Amino acid sequence: MFFPSSPPLLWALEFANPGLLAGLAAASIPIVIHLLNRRKFREMPWAAMQFLMAAIRKNQRRVRIEQWLLLAVRTLLILLIVAAMAKPFLESFGNVIAGQRTHRVLVLDGSLSMGYTTGDKSRFDLAKDVATRLVKDSRQGDAVSLIMMGEPPRVVIGDPSPNLTEVQKEIAELTMTHGSTDLQATFEAIDRVLDVSTIPQKEVIFLTDLQSTSWRRPPATGKDGLDRVLAKLEARRPRSVIIDLGKAGSENRAVTDLTIDTPVVTAGSTPLVRAVMRNFGPSKADGVLVRLIMDGRVSSEQSVDLPVGEDVPIIFNQPFTTPGDHIVEIAMDNDPLPLDDHRWLVVPVRESLSVLLVDGHFRSEPFQAETDYLAQALAPTEGSPGQPGMIRSEVVSESQLSRRDLPAFDVVALCNVAQFSQGEVAALEDYLKQGGGLIIFGGDQVIADNYNRLLYADGKGLLPAALGPTVGGAAKKAAAFAFNPLGYRHPLVAEFRGESDPVTAGLTQTAIWQYHKLIKPADSNAQVALAFDSGDPAIIEAPRARGKVILVATSADAGWTSWPLHNSYPPIMQQMILQAAAGRLAERNIRVGQPFDQSYAAAGVSATATVVTPKGQAVASRLKGTGGVSQLHFEQTELSGTYQVRIGPPLTVESTFAADPDPAESDLAKLDRSALEQRLPGWSFSLLTNSPELSQSAASVGRRGELHRPLLYGALVLLLLETFLAWKFGYHDSSS
């Protein structure tokens, strides 16, 4: 039913099925029958009747009134039934003038929740059916625009189109996305469409499930923007209607997360694959089958119980035997919203990690160079911590940095490098754009002014913190600082959490005699992984471009600290390499609707690229030059699943990435009218929730004051009244 936002001042009567008004002629049937019935009898004088005439004359007036009353009731009964079948309605002159040309903007919600299926139709299919009927029932001269709600929204038909047949074809070809919505951008798109329209009478009709997530306000920073665009929309005085296709209390289960317990996977390893399931429905789900699918084949499966409103983790041990891109999929038993019953993770498996160690104090004598301890920690022998052969390192002197092909390495570690040239800084920035990892250790040769000017660059460079003066004195070693693990929260030191004192002592009892004071900006997104007991940061980690930078305040060798001599040094150095290299794993897994950006060597500029979507559609693209790299920027990621990327010559690269939906879209909690008014104050709208009737007739969606139901109720009352009166009058006459 409709709930008008304000009562109209004047109404005009129209009919949804005017052809049926011809049936009003049937109202003459009772009258014709009455007249014919009177002609069946001839009056004959009869002497004996003269004695009855006096009594008949006494009741004649009453009988005539009864007959006319029954005739009126029966005639009105037929009139009401025929009029109800013609579906009369009232249109307001306050917003819409009946019969005048209308620009109708149809806004279809294309978010993931619209994939909820009842029977053989999803909510999105129902929205398309209703939209098609609205277009089909439009008056001659009406024009239609078409917008898809999404993130971002898509204007399918901008300029008002009077070609209703073509509009219906566009609606039939619409496919929903697997993402969420941008409410402010949607209203801005509506405003742009209405702005170019020269048709004075306008309607905006939303077809949506009113999911709370889809109709959420933007963050506080965008609140004013939404209010402004709503005010502009109201100033145009369109009639806004929301058709609610959702249902409260809908059942839904979803795979909300899929991760692997190591940032980098090497061939021959068996990491833990962790998935998270959640039951968003109103009732518990027992015995739900969850399958791990590896490269298209079921690897293992488990059965889990899903209580209402709780995250349920499930863990699989999954071996990766060969290098290359592998696709891990978690799938659970399908429910009415099958789109979130799957989740994908692309895992690029490496034969080994390649690390370039740049030594700022290169020496040939054992353990005299800056990188000797670090190289040993990254290449453990059999029986020592770490996996032999997992990390392969190459040591070069500081002077060779500019001559190395940095993208060939997963991680570059700069150890006590004195200073950098502009060209070296540019090469490091391009390297980070390609997902590389960068680790920077301090030392006695570091020229802080050079680092701050070129690498930190007032917070705009690749360093997550500026270098202040050094603290302590390694020459005298008179006093030592200790590490503060900060509760072992960061992944670099997380494996020490819960260990016994003798194990943690290898970290907490390390002596640090000297370090650079790291000054982290207050608004920085960098994380402090390890600190000193003085309160200063010891290790800071931050994302940069597609890669990651880790800044260590002390040295990599034993010059400033005893750390390389402790048993905590090798596992933390290895974990540091893995964390730094994680950028190339993270860039293969994105959120639905998020553009996929991949950087390649500069030689790939103008190379052709083909991206095959989860539906098998091949989309052509081309790499473009950005700084010192070539970049693929692909925006058509509105579907969940895996995408195949093929880069043509001169690079000839093939890779895979996955797009997964926002878990918030799996929560089907919906808004009612009052909640929507609170979220969007000042917006005048009508709300239609009678979705079953919409599948039969959508012609009344944009209309107000439907009268066919009251007419049918009136016909029912008249039918009962006619039966009662016929009985009453007949009984009265017989008793007389």
For the residues of 174-234, what is the DSSP string, one character each?
Answer: ----SS---HHHHHHHHHHHHHT---S-EEEEEEE--BTTTTPPPPGGGHHHHHHHHHHHH
Compute how many other C-beta atoms are within 10 angstroms of the C-beta atom of residue 652.
10
Q: Do 345 and 307 share a structural domain?
A: yes
Asked whether residue 605 is domain-assigned, the answer is yes
Same domain, 687 and 634: no
Indicate whether 643 pLDDT > 90. yes
Query: SS3 letters for 437-483?
Result: EEEEECCCCCCHHHHHHHHHHHHCCCCCCEEEEEEECCCCCCCCECE
Q: Indicate the range of 44-53, 270-279, 305-314 predicted with least confidence.
A: 44-53
Q: Are the C-beta atoms of residues 445 and 555 closer than 8 Å to each other?
A: no
Q: How far apart are CA 16 and CA 229, in angstroms?
A: 34
DSSP letter for 603, please. Answer: G
Tokens encoding 418: 């004195």
Lowest-pLDDT choice from 50-54, 99-103, 161-165: 50-54
Mean pLDDT on 3-8: 38
pTM above 0.85, yes or no: no
Query: What's the confidence (pLDDT) of residue 600?
Result: 86
- Does residue 294 carry a pLDDT above 50? yes
Contacts of residue 405, defined as CB under 8 A and 6 or more positions apart, other chains included, come to none
pLDDT at residue 704, rounded to an integer: 45
Domain membership flag for residue 452: yes
Same domain, 539 and 396: yes
What is the C-alpha to C-alpha distance for residues 507 and 487, in angstroms, rounded to an integer?
13
Confidence band, pLDDT 50/70/90 cuts, at residue 325? very high
Q: What is the pLDDT of residue 223?
A: 55
Identify which of 644, 597, 652 has the alpha carbon closest to the alpha carbon of residue 619: 644
Core vs surface per residue 161-180: b (16+ CB within 10 A) or e: beebeebbebbeebebbbbb
Q: Are residues 369 and 283 in the same domain?
A: no
Predicted confidence (pLDDT) at residue 734 exceeds the cutoff of 60: no
The distance from CA 553 to its chain's CA centroid, rounded to whole angstroms, is 40
Domain of residue 719: give its range: 11-92+709-735
The residue type found at 460 is: K
The position carrying tokens 């994680």 is: 582
The DSSP call for residue 3 is: -
**Of residues 418, 417, 438, 426, the one with CA closest to residue 355:** 438
Rounded Cα distance between 451 and 400, Å, is: 18
Cα angle for residues 658, 664, 666 (degrees, 5° grid): 85
pLDDT value of position 328: 97
- Dump pLDDT digits (tens) for 533-581: 999 999 999 999 889 999 999 999 999 999 999 999 999 999 999 999 9
* Angstrom distances, CA of residue 180 to CA of 183, 191, 357, 639: 10, 20, 44, 11
pLDDT digits (tens, 9 = 90+) for 603-624: 888 899 999 999 999 999 999 9
Domain count for the chain, please give it: 5
pLDDT at site 736: 53
Q: Note whether 570 and 640 are within 8 A (CB).
A: no
Tokens of 344: 């994908």
- Is residue 644 domain-resident? yes
- The strand pair at 483-484 and 527-532 is best described as antiparallel
Residues 227 and 267 placed together within one structural domain of the fold: no
Q: Is 8 exposed, middle or buried (0-12, 13-18, 19+ CB in 10 A)?
A: middle
Looking at the fold, whether 675 and 714 belong to one and the same domain comes out as no
pLDDT of 9 higher than 50: no
Q: How far apart are CA 177 and CA 450, in angstroms?
A: 49
The full DSSP string for 112-151 is: GGGG-EETTEEHHHHHHHHHHHHHHTPPTT-EEEEEEESS
Of the residues 567, 586, 605, the one at which a domain ends: 586
Mean pLDDT of 479-497: 94
Q: Which residue has the higher pLDDT, 45 or 93?
A: 45
Which residue, 350, 384, 409, sits at the end of a domain? 350
Closest CA to 95 of 689, 673, 700, 684: 684
Distance CA 482, CA 497 (A): 17
Q: Is the pLDDT of residue 254 over 90?
A: yes
Give per-residue pLDDT as tens, 177-212: 999 999 999 999 999 999 999 998 999 999 999 999
For residues 269-289, give the mean pLDDT. Answer: 95
Distance from C-alpha of 313 to C-alpha of 273, rounded to nearest angstrom: 10
Rounded to the nearest integer, the mean pLDDT of the chain is 86
110-153 pLDDT tens trace: 999 999 999 889 999 999 999 999 999 888 889 999 999 999 99
**Cβ neighbour number for residue 56 with a 10 Å cutoff:** 11
Residue 466 lies in a domain: yes
97 lies in some domain: no
pLDDT band for position 629 (50/70/90)? confident
296 with 405, same domain: the answer is: no
User: pLDDT tens across 462-474, in order?
Assistant: 999 999 999 999 9
Q: Do 649 and 553 belong to one domain?
A: no
Looking up tokens 């139709």 gives 121
The tokens describing 6, both together, are 């304000």
- Whether the per-residue pLDDT at 693 is higher than 50: the answer is no
pLDDT digits (tens, 9 = 90+) for 225-240: 899 999 999 999 999 9
Residues 284 and 415 in one domain: no
Q: Could you give phi then psi for residue 654, rounded to 5 degrees?
A: -125, 135
Q: In terms of C-beta density within 10 A (0-12 exposed, 13-18 middle, 19 or more buried), how is residue 247 classed?
A: middle
Neighbours of 535 (CB within 10 A): 7
Q: Is 583 helix (H, G, I), strand (E, B) or coil?
A: helix
Find the CATH number of the domain harbouring 684: 3.40.50.410
**What's the pLDDT band for 52 if we cut at 50, 70, 90?**
low
Are both 559 and 460 inside the same structural domain?
Answer: yes
Enumerate residues 6+ apart whose C-beta is below 8 A from 125: none
Q: Strand, coil or helix: what is 60?
A: helix
Q: Domain check: are 538 and 620 in the same one?
A: no
Lowest mean pLDDT among 206-215, 315-324, 419-428, 718-727: 718-727
Exposure string of 24-55, with b = 16+ CB inside 10 Å and e = fewer, is eeebeebeeeeeeeeeeeeeeeeeeeeeeeee
Predicted confidence at residue 47, as pLDDT, reads 57
| Residues 369 and 511 reside in one and the same domain | yes
Per the CB < 8 A criterion, the answer to whether 248 and 283 are in contact is no
Residue 4 domain flag:
no
pLDDT score at 278: 97
Distance from C-alpha of 503 to C-alpha of 509, rounded to nearest angstrom = 10
* End residue of a domain, out of 586, 606, 627: 586
CA dist 246 and 276 (Å) reads 26
CA atoms within 13 A on the CB side of 475: 2
Q: Is residue 1 in some structural domain?
A: no
271: domain CATH number is 2.60.40.10
SS3 state at 95: coil
Specify the pLDDT at position 699. Answer: 45
End-to-end CA distance of the chain: 50
CATH number of the domain that residue 426 is part of: 3.40.50.880
Please indicate, yes or no, if residue 5 is contained in any of the structural domains.
Answer: no
DSSP-derived 3-state class of residue 96: coil
